[in-house]
């Protein structure tokens, strides 16, 4: 039997709570299908590590992770104690060093969950975020820091190779879905970077005649995703725009707590990383009420990536049935705790 080796990186706040809720669900489907085992090693990186060692992750954390089949992360960040740009550094470094260039963030409406838009058309979109370059590379500097003349320079980087590979990935994904790809830029105002995106899209489109392509600027996209979200299928954008839009798609489908994500190295030269879209939610951390749906569905994405599609389907079905039955954490209007939600999902799995 195959054993998949998983690195657990629960992180901070509700990150630890949603990881603790997901592991038993993954174990349950492994034992139900009887086709694979999961072995875990858990790392205390984040504030816990910082308190003991003065840094959020050890220097060699990338080497430690390289040997695993996949990485499962909760969330990192505790802004009241440490600035976010410090706590989030390992995560951003990981995405870049492991070339996890395709960040895939599905968002959909679930029967049983009422979204904020009060409309009946189901939403089913996937935001593909370029995850390795763009606006988030560490490229800039400060001048005359702390003075009235202070200057900050931060320059985005967009390469033809980077743009082409994320667009190819998105076209291929659209082919497995409703054959519609919308690219988000701001090429009317950012005249170099996003004009390159426009050109590469135009070059690639003829290779995918079965995929309808569309383009929107980021400002219009935020409007249209509220006005006609059901018309979108695959949405692709740069690191910054993909980040923004995936919070929006999370919001319009009901709660950020529902949304999973995968940070993929499609060439599989490094372990890919799976994590809910949400952060560490200090406002509800420690109360036992975090919605573990996004984490559990991230677990399903991880199983699928590891070749366990049947097990992934079992997780998705059990989570969907649980939501449809009205089992709801406070973020989606209920009173259920994280532990009760997890028990309900496990109960569905055992019923078959």
Task: Give the burial class of 76: count Cβ atoms within 10 A of its Cβ; 0-12 exposed, 13-18 middle, 19 or more buried.
Answer: buried
Q: What is the closest distance, in whole angstroms, from the C-beta atom of residue 207 to ligand NAI in the complex?
A: 33
Q: Which of residues 19-78 bind ligand NAI (CB under 6 A)?
A: 75-77
Q: What is the closest distance, in whole angstroms, from the C-beta atom of residue 252 to Mg ion in the complex?
A: 15
**69 forms part of the interface with Mg ion (CB under 5 A):** no
Q: Which of residues 295-334 bind ligand NAI (CB under 6 A)?
A: 329, 331
Of 123, 281, 301, 306, the one binding ligand NAI by CB under 6 A: 281
Contact stretch for Mg ion (CB under 5 A) within 16-24, 61-69, 221-229, 240-248: 240-248
**284 forms part of the interface with ligand NAI (CB under 6 A):** yes
Question: What is the SS3 assignment for 5-72?
Answer: EEEEEEECCHHHHHHHHHHHHHHHHHHHHCCEEEEEEECCCCHHHHHHHCCCCCCCHHHHHHCCCEEE
Residues paired with residue 213 on neighbouring β-strands, in sequence order: 181
**97 forms part of the interface with ligand NAI (CB under 6 A):** no
Binding partner of 131, given Mg ion, ligand NAI, none, CB within 5-8 angstroms per partner class: none
Q: Which residues of 196-225 are buried (b: 16+ CB within 10 A; e: fewer)?
A: bbeebbeebbeebeebebebbbbeebbeeb
- Nearby residues of 156 by Cβ (< 8 Å), 6 or more positions away: 133, 134, 135, 137, 139, 193, 238, 240
Say if CB 169 and CB 132 are below 8 A apart: no
Give the residue carrying structure tokens 């009946």.
120
**308 forms part of the interface with Mg ion (CB under 5 A):** no
Binding partner of 75, given Mg ion, ligand NAI, none, CB within 5-8 angstroms per partner class: ligand NAI
Which of the residues are catalytic? 136, 186, 219, 243, 247
Q: Which residues of 139-153 are buried (b: 16+ CB within 10 A; e: fewer)?
A: eeeeeeeeeeeeeee
**243 forms part of the interface with Mg ion (CB under 5 A):** yes
Task: Give the burial class of 328: count Cβ atoms within 10 A of its Cβ; 0-12 exposed, 13-18 middle, 19 or more buried.
Answer: buried
**283 forms part of the interface with ligand NAI (CB under 6 A):** yes
Binding partner of 29, given ligand NAI, Mg ion, none, CB within 5-8 angstroms per partner class: none
* Of 271 and 294, CB closest to ligand NAI: 294
**12 forms part of the interface with Mg ion (CB under 5 A):** no
Q: What is the closest distance, in whole angstroms, from the C-beta atom of residue 256 to ligand NAI in the complex?
A: 4
**210 forms part of the interface with ligand NAI (CB under 6 A):** no
Judged by the rule CB under 6 A, the positions of this chain that interact with ligand NAI are: 14, 18, 75-77, 79, 84, 88, 91, 256-257, 275, 278-284, 290-291, 294, 329, 331
């Amino acid at each position: 039997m195959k054993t998949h080796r998983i690195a657990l990186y629960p992180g901070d706040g509700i990150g630890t709570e949603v990881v603790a809720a997901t592991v038993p669900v993954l174990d349950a489907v492994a034992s139900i299908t009887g086709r694979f085992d999961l072995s875990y090693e858990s790392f205390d990186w984040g504030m816990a590590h910082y308190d003991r060692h003065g840094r959020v992750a050890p220097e060699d954390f990338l080497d430690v992770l390289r040997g695993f089949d996949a990485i499962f992360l909760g969330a990192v960040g505790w802004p009241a104690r440490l600035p976010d740009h410090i706590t989030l550094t390992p995560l951003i470094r990981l995405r870049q060093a492991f070339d996890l260039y395709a960040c895939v963030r599905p968002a959909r409406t679930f029967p049983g969950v009422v979204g904020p838009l009060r409309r009946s058309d189901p939403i089913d979109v996937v935001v593909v975020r370029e995850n390795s370059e763009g606006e988030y590379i560490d490229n800039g500097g400060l001048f005359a820091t702390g003075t009235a003349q202070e200057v900050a320079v931060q320059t985005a980087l967009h390469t033809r190779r980077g743009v082409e590979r994320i667009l190819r990935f998105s076209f291929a994904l659209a082919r497995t879905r409703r054959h519609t790809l919308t690219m988000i830029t701001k090429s009317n105002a950012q005249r170099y970077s996003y004009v390159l995106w426009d050109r590469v899209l135009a070059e690639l489109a003829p290779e995918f005649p079965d995929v309808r392509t569309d383009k929107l600027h980021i400002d219009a996209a935020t409007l249209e995703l509220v006005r006609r979200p059901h018309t979108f299928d695959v949405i692709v954008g740069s690191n910054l725009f993909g980040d923004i839009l995936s919070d929006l798609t999370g919001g319009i489908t009901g709660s950020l707590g529902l949304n999973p994500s995968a940070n993929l190295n499609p060439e599989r030269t490094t372990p890919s990383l799976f994590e809910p879209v949400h952060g560490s939610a200090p406002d509800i951390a420690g109360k036992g009420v975090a919605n573990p749906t996004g984490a559990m569905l991230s677990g399903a994405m991880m199983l699928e990536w590891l070749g366990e599609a049947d097990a992934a389907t079992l997780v998705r079905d059990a989570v969907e049935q649980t939501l449809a039955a009205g089992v709801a954490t406070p973020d989606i209007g209920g009173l259920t705790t994280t532990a009760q939600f997890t028990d309900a999902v496990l109960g569905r799995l055992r019923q078959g």
